[in-house]
């Protein structure tokens, strides 16, 4: 029976979720960098300038009468101070804009989003099949059954990864990325380690017990 892999749904949806998260964080970083932080900085500058003007004019008023223009400036400064009376604007820290730009906008948005999407694209393009005659076709490379020399199952139970050794080189198959890798791994494991693995690449318990007792 021919076994053909395809993109794992969980791999696709998890990475789409990561891509959306990266995009949202990037958009948040851009909004903060170009809108929120400048607005906070402008408010802090306005508040500080109003405070300095108010103090200066109050001091001047102790020495002489204020002119009409100075009275208008004083009232304008007091109006600004009254606006922020309940919550004086804090000047944003210098690192805030750097963090929002480089970490969130650039790191997550500009770099992270396309990187995660490209991971999905490259994984979806990978084609692996085990033919009925025992030959493998991996990304267009045809490997006959007698060219497959072994399969490394040491990382299968912990990471769902197998390495197929062939006369044309080594090929890594990842069940997290591709559906039906377990069937290919099971078929090859049964060929090279008869009696120890099932056709779905799970360990046969009786074989494990026998191996342990033999040791």
Distance CA 48, CA 92 (A): 13
Residue that terminates a domain, selected from 102, 125, 148: 125
Instruction: Compare 17 and 207 and report the one with higher pLDDT.
Output: 17
- In-domain check, residue 2: no
Q: Which domain holds residue 167?
A: 128-214
Q: What is the average per-residue pLDDT within 9-14?
A: 96
Residue that terminates a domain, selected from 92, 125, 158: 125
- In-domain check, residue 47: yes
24 touches 151 (CB < 8 A): no
Sign of CA pseudo-dihedral 190, 194, 198, 204:
negative
pLDDT tops 50 at residue 206: yes
Q: At what angle do helices 113-125 and 9-31 cross, to 10 degrees?
A: 160
pLDDT tops 50 at residue 215: no
| Claim to verify: residue 37 and residue 121 sit in the same structural domain | yes
| Claim to verify: residue 14 and residue 64 sit in the same structural domain | yes
- In-domain check, residue 1: no
pLDDT band at 209 (very low <50, low <70, confident <90, very high): very low
| Claim to verify: residue 140 and residue 166 sit in the same structural domain | yes
């Amino acid at each position: 029976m021919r076994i053909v892999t395809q993109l794992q749904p969980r791999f696709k949806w998890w990475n789409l979720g990561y891509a959306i998260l990266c995009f949202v964080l990037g958009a948040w970083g851009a909004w903060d960098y170009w809108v929120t932080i400048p607005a906070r900085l402008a408010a802090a500058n306005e508040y500080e300038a109003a405070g300095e003007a108010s103090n200066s004019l109050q001091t001047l008023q102790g020495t002489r009468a204020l002119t009409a223009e100075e009275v208008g400036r004083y009232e304008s400064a007091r109006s600004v101070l009254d606006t922020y009376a309940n919550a004086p604007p804090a000047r944003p820290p210098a690192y805030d804009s750097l963090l929002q730009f480089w970490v969130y906008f650039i790191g997550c948005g500009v770099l992270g989003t396309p990187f995660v999407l490209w991971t999905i694209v490259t994984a979806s393009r990978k084609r692996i099949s085990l033919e009925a005659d025992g030959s493998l076709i991996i990304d267009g490379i045809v490997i006959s059954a007698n060219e497959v020399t072994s399969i490394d199952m040491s990382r299968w139970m912990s990471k769902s990864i197998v390495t197929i050794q062939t006369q044309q080189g080594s090929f890594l198959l990842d069940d997290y990325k591709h559906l039906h890798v377990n069937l290919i791994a099971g078929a090859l494991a049964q060929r090279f380690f008869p009696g120890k693995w099932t056709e779905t690449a799970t360990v046969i318990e009786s074989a494990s017990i026998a191996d342990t007792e033999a040791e």
